[in-house]
Structure 1
Amino acid sequence: MMKDFLNRDKFLKILENENFWDIIIIGGGATGIGIALDSSSRGYKTLLLEQSDFSKATSSRSTKLIHGGIRYLAQGNIKLVFEALRERGYLLKNAPHLVRKQKFIIPVFSWKMGIFYWTGLKLYEWLSGSLSFGKSKFLSKNEIIKIIPEINNHKLKGGILYYDGQFDDSRLAINLAQTCVQHGGILLNYFKVKNLIKKNKNKVSGVIACDIETKKEYSILSKIVINATGVFSDSILKMDNNLDSSLSIQPSQGTHIVLNKSFFSSKNAIVIPKTSDERILFCVPWYDHVLVGTTDTFLKKTVIDPIPLEEEIDFILQTFKKYFIFFPEKKDILSAFSGLRPLFISKDNKNKTKDISRNHKLIVSTSGLISIIGGKWTTYRKMAEDTVNKAIEIGKFNNKPSITKNLKIYGSNFFSYNNEYDLYWKKYGEDEWNIKKLIKKNPFLGNTLFSNKKSDYSSLCTEAEVIWMVRYEMARTIEDVLARRFRLLFLNAKKSIEIAPKIANLMAKELSRDKKWEKSQVNSFKKLAMKYYYS
């Protein structure tokens, strides 16, 4: 079983002895890891390199929805919605420990719009076919008030209930990486590609990469190199000296805020279908908190840690106040975070970001470099399948069909859950057993990270989980643990700062680091966390 875990030292040893690969993937977000899984599960020798942590950028900062996209349906993009609804169904089947059905409600304030939404959601339901999550239905005004007591019921006519999916994005990325390892793939975080290797008539034949931790440089050869770096794709295309003149990557920033569930206590999510700037805003229960977002803001510059803009925060708060009886202020925000979406557009396209297609696009350079751009979390599997199919064609591989439609994702074997405590552990799948074995062996590891014993998500976090994340999930920094393994930075930035020193101490012992490392880690994390912190 241990061979299935993420083990950086073990993977480095394999890299030292294996210099030639079928496929090298640059980028460890949803798209890159999905490609690595599709490739390795077909039997191709696969290596993935990520310059920071898995899902560090866009893939950890989603609205936590696995959905067809009712917004894209309104735009007439039936093909994308149909594809996403199919993929939604596959994900629920293959990763039930992280993906679940979620009830959504669209409040109706005019009968005309109610008929419009009802028609659209029936089409949405029909497009999902046998993979439907449930039937939509109309609810009366009194039913809506009972389900969502915080709603502003002035002029409320009723609402429409429909079903979509919810998930934990970063934890799914970790489990996809573990599934890739089960099939022989190798993944390395904190491994930066510095250049492309070209041979044989200027064809890409590998990469020059550096282990950020040791500063050691590697020349790694492969038949195919795939650029799956999302909003940073241009940096790899520039290495290839072959930027496509007709396409441009347009980064769009999506910002979310997290509030205490006292502002929105319902277990049902709510959809505000038409905001003042004609976007959609979601209000979604998530890990005992409420997540509100998102925005869609044009940006000229791509950064790995984007900061929410004041106008985005104001827009979300003002929109929330229009639909609910409580008026949260900036001081009530527990965490605010932004992610960049990698949209592709024609360079003569002047569309607003909200109108740009979320479809994915494959670009094959004359050098043979394959770049995958666009898309969304829900369709990561289909994007990966299409990309590997193209790699087979370009690399002239022995064609093997994709098996990921029915491939169970690591962690999908789990207990039956009946209460909040059990639900806390559900995200680990079968690794719950392994973490609890650590506690059984050393009961002190069962200590929670907070002395405060309030019954919320953070009060359940244990020392054993930190040890597990370092040993078997390749967590290398405090941020890796608190942002993408525990998710605490995204839920409550102040609390994450509070336990940063304890996390650093536990990690230092596991990684054989000194006090200087601990202090540096804590300082770096506090500086980062303050970007999420409004109180």
Structure 2
Amino acid sequence: MWRHFSRTQKVLASATIAGGVAGTAYYTHEQTRPRNAYLSALKHQDQASTLSSTVQKLLPRQVAFAEAVQQQQQLDKEDTWQAPSREAMLAKLKAGEEYDLLIVGGGATGAGTALDATTRGLNVALVERDDFASGTSSRSTKLVHGGVRYLQKAIMELDYEQYKLVVEALHERKVFLDIAPYLSSQLPIMLPVYQWWQIPYYWVGCKMYDLFAGREALESSYFLTRSKALEAFPMLKKDELVGALVYYDGQHNDARMNVALALTAAYHGATVANHCEVMELTKNEEGHVNGAMLKDTLTGDEWSVKAKGVINATGPFTDGLRKMDDKTNAEIVAPSSGVHIILPNYYSPQNMGLLDPATSDGRVIFFLPWQGNTIAGTTDSPTEVTQNPLPKEDEVQWILEEVSHYLSPDVKVRRSDVLAAWSGIRPLVRDPHAKNTQSLVRNHMINVSENKLLTIAGGKWTTYRAMAMETVDKAIEVFDLKPTDVCHTDKVMLVGSKGFSSTMFIRLVQEFGMDTEVANHLGNSYGSRAFAVCAIEDPTRLSWPNYGNRIAPNYPYIESEVRYAVRQEYACTVVDVLARRTRLAFLNAEAAFQSLPRVIEIMSEELKWDKTRQHEEYEKAASFLVTMGLAADRAGPATPA
């Protein structure tokens, strides 16, 4: 019977009987086409009838293998996908094509909306005046959370709106961790308890937090005795400590998550362009918004883009675009300032955060391990909207003082320990009856003006996807769009997620000879595309590690990341690289300042900058780093080597 089989059938049968997936994987490696062969064998019943009963029973498994191969081929396509250049994106914007949607704002909400719309089959353009995540979306607390604080209000005040916000956020938290596993993870957070009566109170709260998450809950919360709490967090103040509760939330790399959203939207067909400003909104004969006049902020070029609908997703700058539509539009955003500081990694264990739910003035403060350092914050106070807000010194001092209350007296928290500090502006939806910003709910608002400018405002990082889904639903209704698919962004894996494994750093170490810290960083920043980053440069050093020149001592960012950011991630300025492609500016402002000459040198090679542009980039980056905590006297005029 065997001699009657075709060559394809022989290979199929051998592969299936000898080892199933392993055999099929070898067959795939030999660049044959097993899926076609599998399906062909199934379609031709006369040939299939000649197979032995054993092989016939294995045919359903062959179909499964075929589907697995197809998924692997799709994965390979994603891993080797080259993002269209920024110049190509701008050329599409200038081509005169009418888009279904023009989305203004490249933060979490705007990028998420672009991804949602393009995966539904709509023709989408996304423009951002500065860079993806240049505003609020890169200045968050880095948590993916349901909101323990909102849960408390929901229970104590019987507030149904707060309850709905918590439940929605807990659902989105699980989706978040599923679609971007390399950029997000779960983090245990400790609530120290210094009075016995608080133990049942906090325990019930944590268990309700788990309960509201249902099947989508992370690890279960648990109680720690005093000794176990000190073992987990050795720097904790011992006096009067009676124990601690530990619950789980998510944590992520916010700016890189934002960049991944924009890249994934581009992968699915959206036109995305950073450093592209809306100068004015255009309107049709009926007075409805139908596009915008755009300006390339890097070259000064201006042109118009037409769209069936325009979405305003500009975060804190929402009211500015609304007034561009109509000067009489009421302001709907109440901006609130949140300051964070970065401390050395020895201030917190690398696997657990700390939450103080009741500070001296009632605000909540977090103390979290992040990217190898410790992030502490945040404040919450009214502010004015600015492009790069400065962290106020009194707020930095307040955070340091609150942190010191929870640490052992042996640990002296010094101002000089602050490696970086920044202020983020939260675009809270305005409530005219609210007495202060702390009572504003972090939910979102969708508004359509008389001239049909659709605005999405408010919300938080965790719920960006739900906000985007509602926004696109509303846009389809208002602008009479014809999508070809329904929303399925809860299953759309972000670029770099397919094929990611927490152990892939081992391959990076083995194949490229880099040290473990750099390999871990690359895997957790780029996912499966880390190999593409590494492939940019060949190892040239003879001593270990023989790959990866760092751009700053003690931090795992390497030179090939700068080149990759320019070639594949639309980085156009030094600040784009230091603040949002790498996170060095957020981790250590002085280290970022010291790296300027080398980063400028590399980007000049990639982008052909002349001396004038190099000096401009140096000065702009130095000024930006002052807003990140760099001493002002360090940012004076200098020559970028």
Same fold per TM (> 0.5)? yes
SS in 2 for 1:428: helix
SS in 1 for 2:494: coil
Question: Structure 1 counterpart of 2:536, which letter?
Answer: L
2:259 maps to what in 1?
Answer: 174
- 2:547 and 2:580 map into 1 onto residues whose CA distance is 21
1:89 aligns with 2:89: no
Deviates more, 1:324-333 or 1:286-295: 324-333
1:54 maps to what in 2?
Answer: 132
Q: Which residue of the other structure, out of 224, 234, 248, is the alignment partner of 1:139?
A: 224
2:549 maps to what in 1?
Answer: 448
**Compared with structure 1, are the counterparts of its residues 470 and 451 closer, same or farther at alpha carbon in structure 2 (3 Å cutoff)?**
closer
2:147 maps to what in 1?
Answer: 69
Q: When the two structures are aligned, how many residues end up with a matched partner?
A: 527
SS in 1 for 2:396: helix
- 1:441 and 1:109 map into 2 onto residues whose CA distance is 54
Q: Which residue of the other structure, out of 106, 109, 114, is the alignment partner of 2:194?
A: 109
Question: Structure 1 counterpart of 2:399, which letter?
Answer: I
SS in 1 for 2:596: helix
2:574 maps to what in 1?
Answer: 478
- 1:115 and 1:219 map into 2 onto residues whose CA distance is 61
SS in 2 for 1:308: coil
1:153 maps to what in 2?
Answer: 238
- 1:266 and 1:210 map into 2 onto residues whose CA distance is 44
Identity of aligned residues (%): 35
Question: Structure 2 counterpart of 1:525, which letter?
Answer: A
Deviation string, structure 1 residues 98-142 (Cα, Å, up to 9, x no partner): 010111111011122222211111111011111111111111000
1:416 aligns with 2:513: no
2:338 maps to what in 1?
Answer: 254
Which protein is bigger by CA-based radius of gyration?
2
Retained in 2: the 8 A contact 1:447–1:463? yes
Q: Relative to total residues, which structure has the larger strand share, 1 or 2?
A: 1
Deviation string, structure 1 residues 347-393 (Cα, Å, up to 9, x no partner): x3232111101000001001111001100000000000000000000
1:203 aligns with 2:309: no
Structure 2 unaligned runs (5+)?
1-76, 155-161, 506-515, 632-641
1:220 maps to what in 2?
Answer: 305
1:488 maps to what in 2?
Answer: 584
- 2:628 and 2:302 map into 1 onto residues whose CA distance is 34
Deviation string, structure 1 residues 155-206 (Cα, Å, up to 9, x no partner): 1110001111010000001111111011100110000001111113111111
CA RMSD of aligned residues (A): 1.7
Q: Which residue of the other structure, out of 530, 533, 541, is the alignment partner of 1:432?
A: 530
Deviation string, structure 1 residues 475-522 (Cα, Å, up to 9, x no partner): 111111001111000000000000101101100111111122112211
1:356 aligns with 2:356: no
Question: Structure 2 counterpart of 1:423, which letter?
Answer: N
Deviates more, 1:201-210 or 1:441-450: 441-450
Retained in 2: the 8 A contact 1:102–1:268? yes
> What TM-score do you get using the length of structure 1 for normalisation?
0.95
2:391 maps to what in 1?
Answer: 308
Retained in 2: the 8 A contact 1:170–1:484? yes
- 1:173 and 1:182 map into 2 onto residues whose CA distance is 14
Question: Structure 1 counterpart of 2:567, which letter?
Answer: R
Retained in 2: the 8 A contact 1:343–1:374? yes
- 2:630 and 2:98 map into 1 onto residues whose CA distance is 48
- 1:136 and 1:415 map into 2 onto residues whose CA distance is 26
- 2:285 and 2:151 map into 1 onto residues whose CA distance is 46
SS in 1 for 2:320: helix
Retained in 2: the 8 A contact 1:282–1:294? yes
- 1:151 and 1:510 map into 2 onto residues whose CA distance is 48
SS in 2 for 1:128: helix
2:325 maps to what in 1?
Answer: 240
- 1:337 and 1:9 map into 2 onto residues whose CA distance is 32
**Compared with structure 1, are the counterparts of its residues 266 and 169 closer, same or farther at alpha carbon in structure 2 (3 Å cutoff)?**
closer
Retained in 2: the 8 A contact 1:4–1:179? no
Deviation of 1:244 after TM superposition, in Å, equals 4.1
1:119 aligns with 2:197: no
**Compared with structure 1, are the counterparts of its residues 242 and 115 closer, same or farther at alpha carbon in structure 2 (3 Å cutoff)?**
farther
Retained in 2: the 8 A contact 1:94–1:408? yes
Question: Structure 1 counterpart of 2:148, which letter?
Answer: I
Question: Structure 1 counterpart of 2:398, which letter?
Answer: F
Question: Structure 1 counterpart of 2:526, which letter?
Answer: Y
Question: Structure 2 counterpart of 1:356, which letter?
Answer: L
Retained in 2: the 8 A contact 1:333–1:534? no
1:323 aligns with 2:409: no
Structure 1 unaligned runs (5+)?
none
Deviates more, 1:395-404 or 1:205-214: 395-404
Deviation of 1:18 after TM superposition, in Å, equals 4.3
Retained in 1: the 8 A contact 2:182–2:526? yes
Question: Structure 1 counterpart of 2:214, which letter?
Answer: G
Within 5 A, what are the aligned runs for 1:255-270? 255-270=339-354
- 1:105 and 1:451 map into 2 onto residues whose CA distance is 32
Deviation string, structure 1 residues 394-440 (Cα, Å, up to 9, x no partner): 01122542110111111103243365443211211111111111123
Retained in 1: the 8 A contact 2:422–2:629? no
- 1:206 and 1:49 map into 2 onto residues whose CA distance is 12
Q: Which residue of the other structure, out of 260, 273, 278, is the alignment partner of 2:357?
A: 273
- 2:221 and 2:539 map into 1 onto residues whose CA distance is 49
Question: Structure 2 counterpart of 1:513, which letter?
Answer: W
- 1:443 and 1:375 map into 2 onto residues whose CA distance is 48
Deviation string, structure 1 residues 284-330 (Cα, Å, up to 9, x no partner): 0011100001110111x200101111221111011011100222121
Question: Structure 2 counterpart of 1:438, which letter?
Answer: I
- 2:552 and 2:628 map into 1 onto residues whose CA distance is 23
Retained in 1: the 8 A contact 2:552–2:591? no
Deviates more, 1:270-279 or 1:56-65: 270-279
> What TM-score do you get using the length of structure 2 for normalisation?
0.80
2:45 maps to what in 1?
Answer: none
- 1:258 and 1:386 map into 2 onto residues whose CA distance is 35
- 1:440 and 1:387 map into 2 onto residues whose CA distance is 45
Deviates more, 1:32-41 or 1:422-431: 422-431
Question: Structure 2 counterpart of 1:464, which letter?
Answer: S
Question: Structure 1 counterpart of 2:602, which letter?
Answer: L
**Compared with structure 1, are the counterparts of its residues 91 and 6 closer, same or farther at alpha carbon in structure 2 (3 Å cutoff)?**
farther
Q: Which residue of the other structure, out of 529, 532, 535, is the alignment partner of 2:628?
A: 532
SS in 1 for 2:307: strand
- 2:218 and 2:434 map into 1 onto residues whose CA distance is 37
- 2:541 and 2:449 map into 1 onto residues whose CA distance is 56
- 1:3 and 1:144 map into 2 onto residues whose CA distance is 47
1:334 aligns with 2:419: yes
Deviation of 1:446 after TM superposition, in Å, equals 4.1
Question: Structure 2 counterpart of 1:422, which letter?
Answer: A
Deviates more, 1:192-201 or 1:31-40: 192-201
1:187 maps to what in 2?
Answer: 272
Higher relative contact order (CA 8 A, sep 6+): 1
2:120 maps to what in 1?
Answer: 42
